[in-house]
Amino acid sequence: MSVMRETAPLLRAENLTMRFGGLTAVRQFGFEIMPGEIVGLIGPNGAGKTTCFNMLTGFYKPTEGRVVFKGEDITRWKPHAIARRGAVRSFQKTNVMKTLSVFENVLTGHYMAGCQTLLGTFLPTSRVRRQEQAMRDSAADIVQRIGLARRMNAPAHLLSCGELRLLEVAVALAAKPSLLMLDEPAAGLNSHEAAMFGDVLKTLVGTYVEALLLVEHNMSLVMAVSDRVLVLNFGQKLAEGRPAEIQANQDVIEAYLGKAAA
Ligand SMILES: Nc1ncnc2c1ncn2[C@@H]1O[C@H](COP(=O)(O)OP(=O)(O)OP(=O)(O)O)[C@@H](O)[C@H]1O
Ligand SMILES: [Mg+2]
């Protein structure tokens, strides 16, 4: 007997619910992210998108529901343990240190990801020195991949808005995620910068990360890069489908796209 086995999802959220006192920010939200996918998560302000990120990454403990990542139930895990397992998120606010250079920011991201110990830094053995070199090579590689090679040694405060957004992604990549979750990574970009940013995101899947979950209000960007789009409205899933299906969905147009386009 032959058994057809489908590819396992990288992440599965089951019935996620988050209540804050009397307010239900997210209600019975379920979805899967498959390896190789870019999934867009959209919805009006206050729809529950960031709350969803917080539940997926251990910053909030869901009131109900489960998060399964790489086959393991991570619902009650601490944020650092989830990040170490490979689910890494960016924040709506920047993770960049303005006085450090582009390279130093990405290198710091490697340290933050726990690749090196403090003791190791002060008592450098040859093994530690090899690890240091590997981190520096990795940081340079990420800066290159993200398209900031020209700005490698520039302090972050000199970067344009578009370059800064790319650096934020580079710092998150330093943690070596398999699932990278980006919360409004293209905020403040003009349409040309956003299109370039989208092109970079697409190159990351299958090379640096297995899958991407993208919260973004820039509709042309979300629709251009996503394989699948999830729509949240008042904490509940309103629709799910390919970008073209979502753009044609009457409920979505009424709840969100109509307003966003206006
Ligand atoms: N820690 C908290 N305590 C109480 N209420 C919260 C908390 N975090 C989020 N909320 C509420 O949950 C709802 C969803 O907020 P959330 O930040 O997830 O929305 P969002 O979709 O990310 O919005 P935006 O597009 O503006 O970033 C809002 O009503 C918000 O005020
Ligand atoms: Mg948000």
Q: What is the pLDDT of residues 53-90, one digit of tens each?
A: 999 999 999 999 999 999 999 999 999 999 999 999 88
Residue 31 in any domain: the answer is yes
189 and 73, same domain (yes or no): yes
Pairing of strands 87-89, 64-69: unpaired
29 and 150, same domain (yes or no): no
114 and 74, same domain (yes or no): no
Cα of 101 from ligand 1 centre, angstroms: 33
> Which of ligand 1's atoms lies nearest the C-alpha of 51?
18
**Distance (Å, rounded) from C-alpha 256 to C-alpha 259?**
5
Contact 17, 28 (CB under 8 A): yes
131 and 200, same domain (yes or no): no
98 and 168, same domain (yes or no): yes
Residue 77 in any domain: the answer is yes
Q: Determine the pLDDT at residue 261.
A: 47
- Residue 256's pLDDT band (cuts 50, 70, 90): confident
Query: Cβ(40) to ligand 1 under 6 A?
Result: no
pLDDT in tens, 230-239: 999 999 999 9
User: What total number of domains does the chain contain?
Assistant: 2
190 and 260, same domain (yes or no): yes
Q: Determine the pLDDT at residue 262.
A: 42
> Is the pLDDT assigned to residue 1 strictly greater than 60?
no
Residue 246 in any domain: the answer is yes
Query: Cβ(61) to ligand 1 under 6 A?
Result: no
Cα of 231 from ligand 1 centre, angstroms: 15
Q: Going by CA atoms, what residue is nearest to atom 8 of ligand 1?
A: 51
- Residue 34's pLDDT band (cuts 50, 70, 90): very high
Cα of 93 from ligand 1 centre, angstroms: 14
Cα of 167 from ligand 1 centre, angstroms: 26
180 and 208, same domain (yes or no): yes
156 and 50, same domain (yes or no): no
Domain boundary among 160, 175, 190: 175
**Distance (Å, rounded) from C-alpha 205 to C-alpha 147?**
15
113 and 12, same domain (yes or no): no
% of the chain with per-residue pLDDT over 90: 79
Backbone φ, ψ for residue 215 (5° rounding):
-95, 125
Q: Determine the pLDDT at residue 112.
A: 72
pLDDT in tens, 189-203: 999 999 999 999 999
57 and 127, same domain (yes or no): no
Stretch 215-228: mean pLDDT:
96
Residue 234 in any domain: the answer is yes
101 and 169, same domain (yes or no): yes
The residue whose two tokens read 């867009």 is 40
> Is the pLDDT assigned to residue 152 strictly greater than 80?
yes
% of the chain with per-residue pLDDT over 70: 90
Lowest-confidence region among 16-30, 43-57, 76-90, 115-129: 115-129
Residue 1 in any domain: the answer is no
Query: Cβ(101) to ligand 1 under 6 A?
Result: no
Q: Determine the pLDDT at residue 116.
A: 53
Query: Cβ(55) to ligand 1 under 6 A?
Result: no
The amino acid present at 50, given as its one-letter code, is T
> Is the pLDDT assigned to residue 7 strictly greater than 90?
no
Query: Cβ(177) to ligand 1 under 6 A?
Result: no
Query: Cβ(47) to ligand 1 under 6 A?
Result: yes
The residue whose two tokens read 């582009």 is 102
Residue 12 in any domain: the answer is yes
Stretch 107-113: mean pLDDT:
81
Cα of 120 from ligand 2 centre, angstroms: 38
Residue 116 in any domain: the answer is yes
Cα of 159 from ligand 1 centre, angstroms: 30
211 and 249, same domain (yes or no): yes
Domain boundary among 175, 210, 231: 175
Q: Determine the pLDDT at residue 6.
A: 72
- Spatial CA neighbour of 12 closest among 76, 56, 61, 63: 56
Q: Determine the pLDDT at residue 81.
A: 93
Q: Which domain holds residue 37?
A: 7-86+176-262
Q: How remote is the C-alpha of 209 from its chain's centroid?
A: 10
Domain boundary among 126, 149, 175: 175
Residue 2 in any domain: the answer is no
Pairing of strands 64-69, 72-73: antiparallel
